[in-house]
Amino acid sequence: MKELLKQYNDLIEEIKDLEREIERLEKLDLKHEKDKVKGSNPYFPYQLRNFTIEGYNILEEEKINNRISKKKNILYKRKSECEDLKLQIEEFIFRIPDSRTRRVFHYRYIDNLSWQAIAIRIGKTHESYPRKIHDRYLESLGK
């Protein structure tokens, strides 16, 4: 459980990264293509002319859109997994029965505070106090 707890802040950052990537993929547009070709008038006199053609390369766009869709699905799945892990960590912390222990875990993992800052928040001066509370609780789960 300790390894999972350590991931909390990284999970938050990963979720933000995934959201940015999904947003970037959603903003991709179809490529409008232009080209010049040579041809002639359809009627006599058949004079050589230049024509500009425009449009979308539908086959290529379908391939690209298919790849984008697959990548978005992967990103959504990863985001969902990250959110599930984050929720699992929050549930673990909020189910700790002792208020002080719960506060120590909340400050350490959700607020990402140092041991010294946690000690000050709970009214102690030495950082070993919240660390002991933390370690004892995790040891009690292992037995």
Query: Which tens digits make up the pLDDT trace of 5-18?
Result: 889 999 999 999 99
DSSP state of 98: S
Identify the weakest region by mean pLDDT among 37-41, 49-53, 56-60, 133-137.
56-60
Query: Which tens digits make up the pLDDT trace of 43-87?
Result: 888 888 888 888 877 777 888 888 889 999 999 999 999 999 999
* d(C-alpha 53, C-alpha 30), whole Å: 16
What is the pLDDT of the chain when averaged over all its residues?
89
Mean pLDDT score, 89-102? 93
Helices 8-26, 58-94: inter-axial angle, 10-degree rounding = 160
- Determine if the pTM surpasses 0.85: no
